[in-house]
């Protein structure tokens, strides 16, 4: 490995309350190359990148730039060391134009108080030209496509004189053509001496663009290699470590069909598809897993089923009868229930008590004429609290007094009180501790035992291997594979979800 090391993270350990995100991780970044960092969800990639970019500071360990120790604790200081980051979720102001975005907080000025708009536009144009985005710098960022916005982000870090650019999943929201453009830009950046740290789940991309690859697993450094010396098989082995989790054995066999989805298609607002021609069935006595990377259409698929996506096409049959309702209220009455992924923004009411949170979807059950019968409501809530083993002091406490796991159980309880036939769970274990995760899995199994159909969406490999009886793999809005729990392996999931990008063209 002859290339010069420009940045080196040495012995990085990061502790969060309750978890160890990184343990003694080493990461070498080589000048003028694309340095790929790869690992499963929760492996610690993002944490490591946040530390290198100064967003977070390490509990222990040090960062060397050009061989000498660099101390920085904020993104601004990191930039002064030449390290810039492009986050997966772009940080642009859609209501401002390209030039204003590029020079945000570093405005070019005529005098101490007046911005030199003309000069900003000229300078912005230079950067845009360099990256071959021939577009007027006074265009509002709102009017750019995702790929173009990405390029503006790159201009922004370049204008900050960054020569080490971290790209966190830069292709997750791009179409295939935009990915090619991005790769050309990366190649040109390297010619001009810029170093790139590239994070992605998409193995094929890594093989195309990467020079060096570093693999993390469970917060540990696993391996480092030149990309030209390795193959996909090697990556997968290192990533997964052959650590197959044993699935919870159940002796159930799938029964009759509960739910059938035919040719479900969800168009994007400006052309293309979020979901394309998705068809599948869900049977009694089974948990159906849906696996896919970010942007694969997992959440949108569930939103279509719960009635939150009004522009969807296709048919849904519940218990053999075609579903005709088209709003959420109607779908809940039909027997659908959704546990949303974003608990804080879509799941809970921070201003209401645990009890009121839990019964909000099923108040009609406790209402006699016009009045909610408090006693009846309380009985139902206690029942759910016992059933889901929610740890609480009193149902009258605010829901925000609970831990994440218990909040999630309340959200699950809310769905159960509507007596669903099909429960749609979108990343139900996100942000909750391991004990609560086990509880959620147990709840899933219990529900299935009672005849409820469960669709379990997850991007956590271990979960998707252990929990569902059958797994569908989504990629780019299309169903790319189906595995039973006997045939599913980590390798297959990684390959199906990450390799089919070309197939959609």
Partner 1 sequence: MKEKKMERTAIKISAIKEYLDKGKTIIALVGVIIVFTILSPNFLTVNNLIIMSKHVAQTAILAVGMTFVVLTGGIDLSVGAICGLSGMIAGGLIYEGLVLNLFGIIIYFSIPIIILISLALGMLVGWLNGILVTRFKVAAFIATLGTMYICRGAAMLRSNGKTFPNLVGKKEFGNTSFPFLGSGTIIGIPISVWIMIVLVIIAVYVSTKTPFGRYVYAVGGNENAARLSGIKVNKVKTVVYVISGACAAMVGLIISSELVASHPATGESFEMNAIAASVLGGTSLAGGKGSVFGAIIGAFVIGFLNDGMVMVGVSSFWQTVIKGVVIILAVIFEQMQSKKAE
Complex with partner 1: residue 5 or 372, whichever CB lies closer: 372
Complex with partner 1: residue 136 or 327, whichever CB lies closer: 327
- Do 209 and 198 form a contact (C-beta atoms < 8 A)? yes
Complex with partner 1: residue 120 or 357, whichever CB lies closer: 357
Residue of the chain from 5, 230, 352, 501 that contacts partner 1 (CB under 8 A): 352
Up-side HSE of residue 435: CA atoms within 13 Å toward CB?
Answer: 9
- Do 199 and 45 form a contact (C-beta atoms < 8 A)? yes
Distances (CA, A) of 244 to 42, 178, 232, 489: 16, 36, 19, 8
Cβ at position 366, least distance to partner 1 in Å: 9
> Which residues have C-beta within 8 Å of that of residue 58, sequence separation ≥ 6?
12, 13, 14, 22, 51
Q: Does residue 356 belong to the site contacting partner 1 (CB under 8 A)?
A: yes
- Do 75 and 55 form a contact (C-beta atoms < 8 A)? yes
Residue of the chain from 76, 146, 245, 360 that contacts partner 1 (CB under 8 A): 360
CA distance 377 to 359: 7
Cβ at position 291, least distance to partner 1 in Å: 23
Cβ at position 403, least distance to partner 1 in Å: 16
CA distance 350 to 288: 31
Residue of the chain from 324, 345, 386, 502 that contacts partner 1 (CB under 8 A): 345
CA distance 363 to 359: 6
Residue of the chain from 292, 340, 405, 468 that contacts partner 1 (CB under 8 A): 340
Cβ at position 454, least distance to partner 1 in Å: 18
CA distance 296 to 281: 19
Cβ at position 394, least distance to partner 1 in Å: 5
Complex with partner 1: residue 363 or 434, whichever CB lies closer: 363
Complex with partner 1: residue 430 or 492, whichever CB lies closer: 430
What counts of helices (H) and strands (E) characterise the chain? 16, 24
Cβ at position 335, least distance to partner 1 in Å: 12
Give the footprint of partner 1 on residues 75-104 (CB under 8 A): none
- Do 72 and 81 form a contact (C-beta atoms < 8 A)? yes
Distances (CA, A) of 239 to 61, 105, 352, 501: 23, 40, 43, 20
Classify the C-alpha dihedral 133-135-140-145 as positive or negative: negative
Distances (CA, A) of 282 to 136, 285, 290: 50, 9, 11
Give the footprint of partner 1 on residues 306-335 (CB under 8 A): 306, 308, 327-329, 331-333
Q: Does residue 370 belong to the site contacting partner 1 (CB under 8 A)?
A: yes
Complex with partner 1: residue 251 or 371, whichever CB lies closer: 371
Residue of the chain from 233, 326, 349, 446 that contacts partner 1 (CB under 8 A): 349
Cβ at position 301, least distance to partner 1 in Å: 15
Q: Residue 291 forms beta bridges with which residues?
A: 458, 473
Q: How many residues bind partner 1 (CB under 8 A)?
A: 34
Q: Does residue 195 belong to the site contacting partner 1 (CB under 8 A)?
A: no
Complex with partner 1: residue 97 or 353, whichever CB lies closer: 353
Stretch that binds partner 1, among 219-227, 265-273, 368-376, 443-451 (CB under 8 A): 368-376
- Do 279 and 479 form a contact (C-beta atoms < 8 A)? yes
Residue of the chain from 244, 263, 294, 374 that contacts partner 1 (CB under 8 A): 374
Q: What share of the chain is helix, strand, coil (3-state, %, to 5)?
A: 35, 30, 35
Burial tier of 502 (Cβ tally within 10 Å: 0-12, 13-18, 19+):
exposed
Q: Does residue 502 belong to the site contacting partner 1 (CB under 8 A)?
A: no
Q: Does residue 418 belong to the site contacting partner 1 (CB under 8 A)?
A: yes
Give the footprint of partner 1 on residues 376-405 (CB under 8 A): 378, 382, 394, 396
Cβ at position 306, least distance to partner 1 in Å: 7
Complex with partner 1: residue 359 or 485, whichever CB lies closer: 359
The residues of the shown chain that bind partner 1, judged by CB under 8 A, are 306, 308, 327-329, 331-333, 338, 340, 345-352, 356, 360-361, 363-364, 367, 370-372, 374, 378, 382, 394, 396, 414, 418
């Amino acid at each position: 490995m002859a290339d010069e090391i420009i940045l080196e993270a040495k012995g990085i350990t990061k502790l969060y309350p309750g978890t160890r995100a990184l343990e003694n991780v080493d990461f070498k970044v080589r000048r003028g190359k694309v340095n790929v960092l790869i690992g499963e969800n929760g492996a610690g990639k993002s944490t490591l990148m946040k530390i290198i970019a100064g967003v977070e500071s390490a509990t222990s360990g040090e960062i060397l730039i050009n061989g000498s120790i660099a101390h920085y604790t904020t993104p601004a200081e990191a930039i002064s060391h030449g390290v810039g980051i492009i986050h997966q979720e772009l940080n642009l102001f859609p209501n401002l134009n390209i030039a204003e975005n590029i020079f945000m907080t570093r405005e070019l000025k005529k005098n101490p108080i007046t911005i030199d708009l003309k000069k900003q536009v000229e300078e912005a144009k230079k950067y845009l030209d360099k990256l071959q985005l021939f577009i007027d710098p006074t265009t509002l960022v709102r009017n750019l496509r995702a790929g173009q916005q990405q390029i503006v982000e790159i201009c922004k870090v370049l204008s900050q004189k960054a020569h080490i650019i971290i790209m966190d999943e830069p292709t997750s929201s791009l179409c295939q053509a935009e990915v090619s453009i991005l790769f050309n830009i990366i190649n040109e950046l390297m010619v001009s001496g810029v170093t790139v740290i590239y994070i992605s789940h998409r193995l094929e991309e890594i093989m195309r663009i990467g020079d060096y690859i570093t693999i993390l697993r469970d917060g540990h450094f696993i391996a480092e290699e030149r990309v030209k010396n390795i193959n996909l098989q090697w990556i997968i082995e290192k990533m997964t470590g052959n650590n197959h989790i044993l699935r919870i054995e159940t002796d159930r066999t799938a029964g009759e069909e509960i739910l059938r989805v035919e040719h479900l298609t969800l168009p994007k607002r400006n052309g293309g598809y979020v979901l394309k021609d998705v068809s599948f069935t869900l049977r009694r006595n089974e948990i159906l897993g849906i696996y896919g990377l970010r942007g694969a259409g997992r959440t949108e698929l569930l939103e279509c089923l719960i009635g939150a996506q009004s522009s969807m096409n296709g048919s849904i049959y519940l218990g053999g009868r075609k579903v005709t309702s088209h709003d959420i209220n109607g779908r809940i009455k039909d027997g659908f229930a959704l546990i949303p992924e974003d608990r804080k923004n879509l799941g809970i009411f921070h201003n209401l008590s645990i009890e009121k949170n839990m019964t909000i979807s099923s108040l009609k059950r406790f209402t006699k004429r016009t009045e909610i019968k408090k006693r009846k409501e309380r009985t139902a809530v206690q029942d759910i609290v016992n059933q889901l083993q929610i740890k609480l002091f009193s149902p009258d406490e605010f829901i925000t007094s609970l831990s994440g796991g218990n909040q999630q159980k309340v959200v699950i309880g809310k769905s159960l009180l509507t007596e669903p036939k099909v429960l749609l769970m979108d990343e139900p274990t996100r942000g909750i501790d391991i004990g609560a995760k086990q509880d959620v899995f147990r709840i899933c199994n219990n529900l299935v035992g009672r005849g409820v159909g469960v669709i379990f969406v997850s991007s956590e490999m271990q979960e998707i291997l252990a929990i569902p009886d059958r797994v569908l793999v989504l990629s780019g809005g299309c169903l790319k594979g189906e595995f039973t729990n006997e045939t599913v392996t980590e390798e297959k999931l990684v390959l199906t979800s990450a390799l089919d990008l070309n197939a959609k063209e």
